[in-house]
Structure 1
Amino acid sequence: MAVRTILAPVAGSNIDQRVLDLAFRTAKRFNAHLEALFVAAEPQDAIPIVGEGMSGLIIEEMMRAAESETQRRETRGRAAYDAARDAAAVAEAAVPMPDLQATCAWRRDNGREDETVARRGRLFDLVVIGRDPREAAASLTFDAALMETGRPLLVAPEKTPETVGEKVVIAWNGGVEAARAVTSAMPLLRTAKEVTIVSVGEVPHGRACAKALAEQFVWHGVEARVSELPEQSHVANALISEAEKVGADSIVLGAYSHSRFKEMILGGVTQDMLAKCTLPLWIMH
C-alpha cells in the first residue's frame, strides 16, 4: 500500500491550523494529493428541533444565524488552508501531475460533517484529523473518521514536531487492532530512519510477541529494535515515556482493543493516548 491520497477535514475551528500543518507535511513526505474538506451544515440541521408554539419568524432568524455561522467558519477554514498551502509551497491540482509530487485541493460539501467525512474518508488512503473534546461536532467527526471509514487516521497534536515519521514507535500487544495499524502504517515505517516496537507486560497467550514482529519486518526492509517493558498499571504513560526516551516523532497504535464504550467509561490505552500524547498518532480501528 502507498499513501497517494490524504483527506483533511477543516471546520473553521481552532484545530484547523495544526491539522493542515501535519497534513501538508505528510503529503510532501509521500508525494500525495491532499484534499481539505469543509462541510457546510444545512441550516435546518443546525437548529434545534422545532417545538410547538415557535413562530415562523423565530425559525427564519435561527436559520439565518446558522447560515451566517457556516459562512464564518468556511471563511476561517479557507484562510487556514490558503496559509498552510502557501507555507508548504504545494501546488493545487484537480488531476495527477505528470511528475510525482505533492498536490492539494479545497472541497466544499453540504450536509452533516460526521456523515460526510465518514463517506468521503473511505475513498482516501489516510485521514489527517484533529481532536478537540471541547467541541461536540469535532468529537463526532473524529469518531466517524475512526470507526466508519476503515482507513488509518493520523491525529494531529497541539504542536507538530520538527519531523514526522523519521523515528517511529509502534505500540504492540499482538492484537488484531495493532496488526491492522502496523499494516496500514507500512508506508511510514519503510521510510523511517528508526523504528522501535514497544510492548508493555506479557503479550497474551496466542498472540505474537514484539520480537516476532521485528523478525517479520525484515521482509519489508524495515529494521526495528524491540523494547519489552514490565507490566504496568498505566500503559499509556509507559508508551509515552518510552517514545520520549528514544526521541520518537510519531506513534503507531491500534485503536480500542477493548470495547469502545468500556474504554470511554472505564478508561483505556486509546483514550489515554489521545488525551495525553503530544506526538502525531497513526491509529486504526
Structure 2
Amino acid sequence: MYKTIVVHVDGSPLQHARLRAAARLAEDHGAHVIGSATTGTSWRAFAVLAGNMGAPAMPAADFQALRDAASACLDAFAVDAGRLGLPSVELRLVEDEPRYALLLQSRYADLTVLSQDPGAGIDAPVRGLPEQVALHGARPVLVVPEAYAGAPIPGTAVIGWDGSMQAIRAIGGAMPLLQRAASVKLVLVNPDTLSELHGEEPGADMALYLARHGVQVDVVVERTRATHGDALLSLARTTGAGLLVTGAYGHSRYREWVLGGVTRELLERTPIPLLLAH
C-alpha cells in the first residue's frame, strides 16, 4: 500500500487534477499526503545570480517574495485538500528548484504525483518535470493529465511489458494499484523483436508472477505497425482503463530522441494517469 504520497504544488491550473488523484489514492490506501512547493531556487543560487548581474547587494526582500509566493500556493493547496476531505496533509516549502526538491523528497515517499506537461503554447512554470523525476528518482511517478476528474485508479490497468528492468520497476511500484484493479492487461507489442527477454511464451512468466501477488491479469499480444505508445493508448481506450503502467526510457535517451520514444509519446498523449519508473 501507499502510505506517503508527495504532490507537486505550484499553483497552476493543472494542480487541481493531480490533487484529486492524490486524494483518491490517499482515501484508498490511508496515505499521508505531502504538498511540496518550492521557491524555484536556493538562497545561495539567487544571491550568486544577483551578484553576477552586477547588483551591489542582494535584497532579502526579493528572495522573501519567492517564499511568499510559494507559501500562498501551499495555503491554496491546503484549502483544496480540506474540501476533498484529506485527513492527513503536510505542507512543505523548499528553497530549491522543483526537480531537486522532489527528487529528494521522493526518496522518503511511496509515490510522487505530478502533472502532464501542458500542450504547446500554454505557459507552465516547469516543463519536463515528470521525465526528470521518473528518470532520476528512487520511486515511481504518477503523471496526471489535466482532464482527470476523480475516476477510480486504476479500475482497469494496462501494463506495457517489454521485459526491461524499467518495466519491472514500474510493475513493482504499481503493485498496490494492480492488486486493487478490477482487471489488468499485460500488453506485449511485437514481442518477437525481444524474444530473448520473453522466453518461449511471451508474457507467461510475468503473468504468473502477478497472479501470485493476487493480480487479475490477462496477457494481450499486439502485433502492429503502429508505435508502441499508440498501441498502448489504443488498448487503454478500448478497455476503458484508468491507469497506464510502463517503464521510463528503456532505451538510451539519445535513441529515444531519435526514434521518438514510447515514454515521450505517452507523456504527451495519455488521457489517463500514467505510472512511470526507471
The TM-score bracket by the shorter chain reads: 0.7 to 0.9
Tell me by how many angstroms 1:50 deviates.
Answer: 4.8
CA distance in 1, matches of 2:204, 2:175: 17
SS in 2 for 1:116: helix
CA distance in 1, matches of 2:43, 2:187: 48
TM-superposition CA deviations, 1:121-150 (whole Å, max 9, x none)? 111111111132666762364344212221
Opposite residue 35 of structure 1, the aligned amino acid is I
1:131 aligned to 116, 135, 160, which one? 116
CA distance in 1, matches of 2:53, 2:84: 53
Mapping for residues 37-76 of structure 1, pairs under 5 Å = 37-40=36-39, 41-42=41-42, 45-46=45-46, 49-50=49-50, 54-56=54-56, 60=59, 64-65=61-62, 67-76=64-73
1:158 aligned to 128, 146, 162, which one? 146
Asked if structure 2 preserves the Cα contact closer than 8 Å seen for 1:13 and 1:77, the reply is: no
Opposite residue 71 of structure 2, the aligned amino acid is E
TM-superposition CA deviations, 1:42-97 (whole Å, max 9, x none)? 3563588457783437x64xx745543542343134213321x1232122xxxxxx
SS in 1 for 2:195: coil
Asked if structure 2 preserves the Cα contact closer than 8 Å seen for 1:16 and 1:77, the reply is: no
SS in 2 for 1:262: helix
The more displaced of 27-36 and 44-53 is: 44-53
* Structure 1 match to 2:136: 148
Asked if structure 2 preserves the Cα contact closer than 8 Å seen for 1:232 and 1:238, the reply is: no
Which ranges of structure 2 fall in alignment gaps of 5 or more residues? none
CA distance in 1, matches of 2:77, 2:53: 41
Tell me by how many angstroms 1:183 deviates.
Answer: 1.4
Asked if structure 2 preserves the Cα contact closer than 8 Å seen for 1:255 and 1:284, the reply is: yes
Mapping for residues 267-278 of structure 1, pairs under 5 Å = 267-278=260-271
Tell me by how many angstroms 1:14 deviates.
Answer: 2.8
TM-score (norm 2): 0.86
* Structure 2 match to 1:94: none
CA 1:48/1:130 → structure 2, altered by over 3 Å: closer, same or farther?
A: farther
The CA RMSD measured in Å over matched residues stands at 2.5
Mapping for residues 1-285 of structure 1, pairs under 5 Å = 2-40=1-39, 41-42=41-42, 45-46=45-46, 49-50=49-50, 54-56=54-56, 60=59, 64-65=61-62, 67-83=64-80, 85-91=81-87, 103-132=88-117, 138-139=126-127, 141-161=129-149, 162-203=151-192, 204-208=194-198, 209-285=202-278
Asked if structure 2 preserves the Cα contact closer than 8 Å seen for 1:128 and 1:154, the reply is: yes
Asked if structure 2 preserves the Cα contact closer than 8 Å seen for 1:181 and 1:253, the reply is: yes
CA 1:49/1:215 → structure 2, altered by over 3 Å: closer, same or farther?
A: same
TM-score (norm 1): 0.84
CA 1:194/1:64 → structure 2, altered by over 3 Å: closer, same or farther?
A: same
Tell me by how many angstroms 1:156 deviates.
Answer: 0.9
SS in 1 for 2:196: coil
Q: Identity of aligned pairs, percent?
A: 26
CA distance in 1, matches of 2:272, 2:26: 18
The more displaced of 39-48 and 112-121 is: 39-48
The more displaced of 184-193 and 32-41 is: 32-41
TM-superposition CA deviations, 1:152-190 (whole Å, max 9, x none)? 011111122522112111111111111111111111111
CA distance in 2, matches of 1:48, 1:15: 32
Opposite residue 32 of structure 1, the aligned amino acid is A
